[in-house]
Amino acid sequence: MNKYVLFFLLLLATTASHGQKLKAVYQYILSPMATYREEVFFQDGVKTSVRDSILLKRTDASAAEDRDEDMSSGMSVMIDMGKVYRNIVIHKNNVPELLETASLKGINYLVSDDFPSLDWNTSYSDVDTLGKHICHKATAAYRGTKLVAYYTNDIPVPAGPYKFGGLPGLIVMLYNEGANPHYWLLQEIDYPFTGDVPVNERYIQSLPKLSLADYVKKTDLENEEQMRMMMSKMPLTEGITVERKKVRGSVEQVYEWEKN
């Protein structure tokens, strides 16, 4: 009899955590010079991540950083009735495909990603206090890089920044190891959240559709063309050949279709 009571209580707790709305704000650190704000919303098993395209202002902003910010705002993506976003990700629990907004040559697209299942290793004994949360370590292999996450059981919501989640609790900090590390740090939590998700789904669904593979191929071709133009303006040095290795500026380095 006791096992049925325990099962019922566990089911009730799981249902309650999925029914309550959560809003988490992360600081997304792309580089020492580029930091963005990312808002994550979770309700009824659906996670929506909204990342601004405008660099966060630094208190010690220099003239060089101001120029970087001007460049960033020039590459902004206009989504959702005039609000400026760089990236929106919508992902349902236990559904492989996620949807992501992306821009190429000034055109916004809705990109479908057959997202690979993250096999999180949670067998670590590491326990750290980040802010006011007691956090546990987890790692996972992901598209050519290794993810390191710290999550808290204090907030039993399987959410996190960008495309990541699926842990027993909310991700408080996440980064990827390698030559191009990205960092996400939890800044604010509103749980339960009583507001609305600031995304115009009708507009998003009206965008031209692309698969992730097609979008990546188009982006790679565009980046290669820009690199050729830049290299053509550089002086040639006789006898020296420069070999370039493809390093993407995202947390994703190698996609599934590139492994074959």
For residue 154, tell me if it sits in a domain.
yes
List CB contacts of 61: < 8 A, sequence separation 6 or more. 69
For residue 88, tell me if it sits in a domain.
yes
Residue 151's pLDDT is: 98
Instruction: Give the model's confidence band at 9: pLDDT under 50 very low, under 70 low, under 90 confident, else very high.
Output: very low
Alpha-carbon span 196 to 7, nearest angstrom: 32
Q: Which structure tokens are listed for 237?
A: 């040095």
Residue 246's pLDDT is: 60
Alpha-carbon span 47 to 98, nearest angstrom: 10
For residue 248, tell me if it sits in a domain.
no
What is the average pLDDT across 116-120? 93
Domains in the chain: how many in total? 1
Q: Quick check: helix, strand or coil at residue 47?
A: strand
98 or 82: which leads in pLDDT: 98
The CATH number that applies at residue 203 is: 2.50.20.10
Q: Answer whether the bond into residue 161 is a cis peptide, omega within 30°.
A: no
At 17, the amino acid letter reads S
Whether the predicted pLDDT of 52 surpasses 60: yes
Which one-letter DSSP state was computed for residue 17?
H
Alpha-carbon span 78 to 192, nearest angstrom: 29
For residue 130, tell me if it sits in a domain.
yes
Say which range, 14-18, 186-190, 230-234, has the weakest mean pLDDT. 14-18
CB 154 within 8 A of CB 169: yes
Closest CA to 198 of 108, 109, 102, 83: 83
The reported pTM is: 0.78
Residue 201's pLDDT is: 86
Closest CA to 199 of 85, 28, 73, 76: 85
CB 107 within 8 A of CB 115: no
Instruction: Give the model's confidence band at 76: pLDDT under 50 very low, under 70 low, under 90 confident, else very high.
Output: very low
Separation in Å, CA 34 to CA 37, 68, 184, 206: 10, 8, 12, 30
Alpha-carbon span 206 to 81, nearest angstrom: 13
Q: Determine the structural domain holding residue 77 and report its residue range.
A: 17-211
For 156-214, write each residue's pLDDT tens digit: 999 999 999 999 999 999 999 987 899 999 999 999 999 999 888 898 999 999 999 99
For 212-225, write each residue's pLDDT tens digit: 999 999 988 887 87
Residue 22's pLDDT is: 97
Q: Which structure tokens are listed for 18?
A: 């999925």
Residue 19's pLDDT is: 58
Q: Which structure tokens are listed for 169?
A: 């609790």
For residue 254, tell me if it sits in a domain.
no
For residue 234, tell me if it sits in a domain.
no
For residue 226, tell me if it sits in a domain.
no
Residue % of the chain over a pLDDT of 70: 73
Alpha-carbon span 22 to 48, nearest angstrom: 10
Whether the predicted pLDDT of 81 surpasses 70: no
Whether the predicted pLDDT of 85 surpasses 70: no
Residue 33's pLDDT is: 84
Q: Where does the chain have alpha helices with state H?
A: 2-19, 63-74, 201-206, 212-232
For residue 46, tell me if it sits in a domain.
yes
